[in-house]
Structure 1
Amino acid sequence: MNILFVNCCIRGEASRTMGLCRAALEEIRAKYPDAAIQELCLDQEEICPLHSDTLARRNALEHQKDFSDPMFRYAQQFAEAEIVVVGAPYWEYQFPALLRCYIEHISVNGVTFAYGEDGRPHGLGKGERLFYITTAGGPILDRNCGFDYLKTLLSNMMGFTKLDYVAAECTDVIGYPVEEELQKAEARLREQIRNWD
């Protein structure tokens, strides 16, 4: 089994989100001891938004079905993963722009998805499960736009069928029991992973 951890915890190991991600990876290793887990730290990659030149070049290569160019490495890595764990802080109701740039790079027609005869996209990769982990300075309530976006994209374009998240909220609210909130979030994510089928 191939598991990909997409690390968008920009504050590194000091990040509260990263702390939850490390707990999740520990639980995943215990559940799948023979799995190969790859970590992609977006903060250490030179991932830029697509612009007119890179988009034109990518479209030409897609048309030729030539995916040997290094620009497709993120899409190819993503396509090989059966489980994708994404860790990202809750910024501006969703996630850092770096993760959005990464999503542009993995959304490749001919690698992670393709359009069928009915014009609808379908997944080409092995991906089935997304586990999204986030922490928010305030309350999320019903506005988890980052997870909702990924859920929509991966289920409708790339064939993912099992999508869930864990969030710790109000971690910057003065007087809020932050450590207790983080402990509860960790307990929830560990229980979810143990119950994966």
Structure 2
Amino acid sequence: MKLLHVDSSIQGDASASRALSAAVVAQLLATDPSLEITYRDLAAAPLPHVDLEGLATATATPMLREFLDADIVVIGAPMYNFSISSQLKAWIDHIVVAGQTFRYGPEGAVGLAGGKHVIVAHSRGGIYSQGPAAEAEHAERYLRAILSFIGISDPEFIVAEGLALGLEQREAAMAAALAKAAKVEPASLITV
């Protein structure tokens, strides 16, 4: 099986989403050492934004091919300003391509990228799962919507939130998220 690991945090070694995505990949690899892993660091090698020349450019085509070839996709996705990073948005724009990952039919859009499992390692500084800030959460909501649009109806989210609310909260949130990451199993991920 092929695994695509994508990180998008600009925080390097201090990044919670990178720590979580690395833990997920390590768990998957420990369970299935035969996994073929492709790694893409969107902060170290940012993608250009899509322009009028279209989506099938020399830059965009490798991103799309990596995504389509992957059985499992692990995405490190921090929340920036209530949404995803611009680096991750650029990558998404390169993989959401008509005729490749979705098409329009008589009933509307049809996702073509089903049959793969996506695990999102998501970090947030505040508490957005409940309470007054919940309506400002646009990262997980957006990722669920765009993944569903291309045929991935049940992505798995491993969320660490409240990371900016003090050391004790950060440590507890990371411990809980890492415990969840330690339970991921490749055998349960692919449904075809």
Q: TM-score, normalised by structure 1?
A: 0.82
User: Helix, strand or coil for the counterpart of 1:191?
Assistant: coil
Return the offset for 1:162: 2.9
Q: Does residue 150 of structure 1 match 2:138?
A: no
Residues 15-94 of structure 1 mapped to structure 2, 5 A cutoff: 15-50=15-50, 54-55=51-52, 57-58=53-54, 67=56, 69-94=58-83
Consecutive unaligned residues of structure 2, counting only runs of 5 or more, are none
Aligned residues: 184
Return the offset for 1:179: 1.6
Structure 2 distance, partners of 1:170, 1:91, is 13
Return the offset for 1:44: 2.3
Aligned-pair identity in percent equals 26
Aligned to 2:93: 104
Q: TM-score, normalised by structure 2?
A: 0.83
Return the offset for 1:135: 1.6
- Cα contact 1:129–1:161 (8 A) shared by 2: no
Q: Could you say if the C-alpha distance between residues 151 and 108 of structure 1 is closer, same or farther in structure 2, counting changes exceeding 3 Å?
A: same
User: Helix, strand or coil for the counterpart of 2:62?
Assistant: helix
Return the offset for 1:187: 0.3
Consecutive unaligned residues of structure 1, counting only runs of 5 or more, are 60-66
Per-residue CA deviation, residues 48-89 of structure 1 (Å, 9 max, x unaligned), is 222xxx32x217xxxxxxx57443221121111121111021
Aligned to 1:181: 173
Structure 2 distance, partners of 1:175, 1:71, is 40
